[in-house]
């Protein structure tokens, strides 16, 4: 479905939109992902969060001085991918609020643009006017950065010695110039002005870096300042850029609520995780009374009864807490290739605002049970551990000839990678004490290093045209088909309590499904003895469930 069509359909909210906080129970995963927008670590760090199937890639640029850090690359990539014009469809981010993450990316970019405006002024006053000196200093830093890439200690010492040597040559040049007059003073200022500009730029960079780190740590601690994006609030009808951004955010929220998902073979259902368990009840439909016929019914009748009973999962005979309120939803699952580079959402008269209409959902449930086409599943989803664990149980009912099959499958999406839950920590260095040299002490290094000041100052004038900056410094490519949550999800089985929660969910859901289905069959004159026996056998089988790879067929 195209962007323009989607906006016409679902964008019915006029005026300014107030950014909403993450839904209850989803804040930890949302804030962890949003914190990446404020990080100042190396961009290659995000490669540590790659999983077996979803891999980010860092595209190298032409000059090392223009290379972005993690926060810059992440904010730029997420903003373009999720709000860019003509973007391809997204995978839903269950357990998170993707709009909140995108808003933090926009807010981080806004803070950096404000810093870059000041740095651009510094570059113009202390660099552009004295261009020969600026070029000389930048060449030294570029060579030093190239040498310092090596982890060899000798290379690091060589890079430092190069900078010191240039400083000595600059001092000699200031004292004994080969010419006098205007050009003599201009030569002296060309050496000094970039150094003065560097000190000025360092103060600007340190102030912004501290602000970004405060927001980073604030998100992970559960507090922090909310994202401010006034550019997404149009103040008059002619403000087209703000209106387009507002509509893009609205479209993102609507797509998050879509009832279509995609099955990618061994990768499982994208956004829900791989299928770890499958239980099937399949028996023959036989009339209860000899000489009579079964009262006609369809798959939708069974599904509707199961839906009603699943809504009672939170009730129990004992007051023990039990299940939180689940999300119960009818899903349409579309098969795609295991290595598909993108997805395509359905369109047409049966789709509105990314939602397949109820009458079409019912038709798919009753008629598309064999051969090609989409399939219907009833899903009960639990978002636990503040969004870090998403458990989804999917139920499908099929009737082929005289056999009714009820299949229940378990899917689990684990926590976001630990990279996103790590907070900022000051960098320290151990040095010898000046007098008691046999003793050592730890000192805290500045947040912004000298090379970082140069990098930010050089990048600043180019931030007004991001594509050129991507070409010079490189960019981050996100894994496709892209969804914020599943792209960096870890396996839940490494966490004992999360694994327990996933395994414990299967038994009560399976029993509710079977009881509701058998009651429908009994009401329609079906002999349910075999169904009851098979249900009991499955109930015994699921007593000791263990996670497997149900989507990987060893054949």
Q: What is the pLDDT along the chain (555 residues), one digit of tens a residue?
A: 343 434 444 454 444 444 443 344 578 899 999 999 999 989 999 999 888 888 899 999 888 888 999 999 999 999 999 987 778 899 999 989 999 999 999 999 999 999 999 999 888 887 777 777 777 777 776 666 666 555 455 555 555 666 666 666 666 665 566 656 656 666 666 777 777 888 888 899 999 999 999 999 989 887 766 777 777 677 666 677 778 888 888 889 999 999 999 998 888 899 998 888 888 888 888 888 877 888 888 899 999 999 999 988 888 777 777 788 889 999 999 999 888 888 888 888 888 888 899 999 999 998 888 888 889 999 999 998 888 999 999 999 998 888 889 999 999 998 999 899 988 887 777 777 777 766 777 777 778 888 888 889 889 898 888 899 999 999 999 998 999 999 999 888 888 888 888 888 888 898 899 899 989 888 888 888 887 877 777 776 676 667 777 777 665
Q: Are residues 484 and 496 in the same domain?
A: no
* HEC profile of 489-538: ECCHHHCHHHHHHHHHHHHHHHHHHHHHHHHHHHHCCECCHHHHHHHHHH
pTM: 0.84
Q: Are residues 236 and 369 in the same domain?
A: no
Distance separating alpha carbons of residues 280 and 403, to the nearest angstrom: 12
Q: Are residues 373 and 391 in the same domain?
A: yes
- pLDDT digits over 526-542, tens only? 888 887 877 777 776 67
Q: Are residues 169 and 281 in the same domain?
A: no
* Helix, strand or coil, per DSSP, at residue 388: coil
CA distances from 255 to 79, 479, 484 (A): 16, 18, 13
Paired sense of beta strands 474-477 and 440-444, if any: unpaired
Residue 341 included in any domain: yes
pLDDT for position 114: 92
539 and 507 Cβ atoms separated by less than 8 Å = yes
Q: Are residues 15 and 32 in the same domain?
A: yes
Q: Are residues 66 and 167 in the same domain?
A: yes
Distance separating alpha carbons of residues 192 and 281, to the nearest angstrom: 81
Torsion of the alpha carbons at 126, 130, 133 and 136, rounded to the nearest 10 = 90
* Helix, strand or coil, per DSSP, at residue 332: strand
DSSP category for residue 378:
E
Q: Are residues 13 and 150 in the same domain?
A: yes
109 and 79 Cβ atoms separated by less than 8 Å = yes
Residue 420 included in any domain: no
Paired sense of beta strands 57-60 and 474-477, if any: antiparallel
- Of 377, 404, 402, 406, nearest in space to 392 by CA: 377
- Of 86, 44, 63, 37, nearest in space to 476 by CA: 44
* Structure tokens belonging to residue 494: 């490494």
pLDDT for position 267: 86
- Read off φ and ψ for residue 382, nearest 5 degrees: -115, 125
pLDDT for position 147: 61
* Structure tokens belonging to residue 542: 């699921």
Domain count, the chain: 2
Distance separating alpha carbons of residues 434 and 440, to the nearest angstrom: 9
Q: Where do we find the tokens 């079964």?
A: 294
pLDDT for position 20: 42
* Helix, strand or coil, per DSSP, at residue 88: coil
Q: Are residues 81 and 130 in the same domain?
A: yes
pLDDT for position 110: 92
Q: Are residues 70 and 177 in the same domain?
A: yes
Q: Are residues 279 and 357 in the same domain?
A: yes
Q: Are residues 245 and 296 in the same domain?
A: no
33 and 418 Cβ atoms separated by less than 8 Å = no
Please give the sequence-ordered ranges of beta strands (E in DSSP) within 1-156, or none if there are none: 57-60
pLDDT for position 478: 93
The residue segments making up the domain with residue 498 are 274-413+491-541
Residue 419 included in any domain: no
Distance separating alpha carbons of residues 339 and 342, to the nearest angstrom: 9
Which positions ≥6 away from 449 have C-beta within 8 Å?
A: none
Q: Are residues 502 and 482 in the same domain?
A: no
């Amino acid at each position: 479905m195209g962007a323009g069509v989607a906006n016409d359909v679902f964008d019915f909210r006029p005026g300014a939109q107030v950014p909403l906080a993450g839904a209850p129970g989803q804040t930890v995963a949302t804030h962890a992902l949003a914190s990446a927008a404020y990080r100042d670590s190396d961009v290659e760090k995000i490669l540590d969060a790659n999983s077996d199937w979803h891999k980010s890639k860092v595209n190298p640029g032409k000059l090392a001085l223009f290379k972005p850090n993690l926060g810059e690359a992440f904010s730029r990539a997420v903003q373009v991918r999720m709000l860019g014009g003509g973007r391809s469809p997204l995978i839903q981010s269950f357990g998170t609020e993707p709009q909140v993450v995108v808003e933090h990316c926009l807010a981080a970019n806004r803070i950096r643009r404000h810093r870059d405006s000041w740095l651009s002024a510094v570059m113009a006053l202390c660099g552009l006017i004295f261009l020969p000196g600026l070029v000389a200093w930048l060449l030294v830093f570029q060579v030093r950065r190239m040498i310092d890439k090596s982890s060899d200690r000798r290379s690091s010492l060589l890079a430092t010695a190069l900078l010191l040597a240039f400083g000595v040559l600059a001092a000699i040049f200031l004292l004994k110039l080969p010419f006098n007059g205007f050009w003599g003073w201009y030569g002296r200022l060309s050496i000094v002005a970039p150094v003065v500009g560097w000190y000025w730029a360092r103060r600007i960079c340190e102030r912004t870096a501290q602000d970004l780190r405060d927001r980073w740590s604030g998100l992970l601690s559960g507090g922090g300042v909310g994202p401010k994006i006034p550019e997404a609030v149009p103040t008059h009808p002619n403000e087209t850029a703000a209106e387009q951004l507002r509509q893009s955010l609205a479209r993102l929220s609507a797509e998050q609520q879509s009832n279509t998902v995609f099955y990618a073979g061994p990768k499982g259902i994208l956004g829900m995780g791989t299928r770890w368990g499958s239980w099937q009840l399949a028996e023959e439909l036989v009339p209860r009374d000899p000489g009579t016929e079964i009262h006609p019914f369809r798959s939708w009748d069974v599904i509707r009864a199961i839906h009603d009973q699943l809504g009672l999962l939170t009730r129990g005979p004992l007051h023990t807490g039990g299940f939180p309120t689940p999300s119960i939803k009818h899903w349409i699952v579309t098969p795609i290739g295991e290595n598909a580079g993108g997805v395509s959402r359905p369109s047409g008269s049966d789709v509105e605002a990314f939602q397949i209409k109820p009458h079409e959902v019912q038709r798919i449930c009753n008629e598309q049970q064999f051969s090609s086409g989409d399939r219907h599943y009833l899903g009960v989803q639990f978002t636990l551990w503040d969004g870090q664990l998403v458990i989804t149980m999917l139920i499908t009912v099929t009737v082929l000839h005289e056999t009714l099959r009820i299949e229940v499958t378990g899917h689990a999406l684990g926590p976001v990678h630990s990279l996103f839950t790590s907070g900022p920590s000051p960098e320290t260095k151990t040095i010898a004490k000046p007098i008691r040299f046999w003793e050592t002490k730890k000192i805290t290094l500045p947040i912004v290093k000298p090379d970082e000041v140069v990098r930010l100052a050089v990048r600043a004038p180019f931030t007004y045209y991001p594509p050129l900056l991507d070409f010079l410094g490189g960019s981050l490519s996100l894994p496709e088909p892209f969804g914020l949550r599943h792209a960096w999800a870890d396996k839940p089985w490494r966490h004992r309590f999360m694994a327990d929660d996933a395994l414990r969910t299967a038994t009560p859901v399976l029993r509710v499904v079977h009881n509701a289905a058998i009651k429908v069959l009994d009401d329609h004159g079906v002999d349910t003895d075999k169904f009851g026996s098979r249900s009991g056998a499955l109930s015994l089988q699921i007593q000791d469930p263990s996670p497997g790879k149900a989507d990987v067929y060893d054949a």
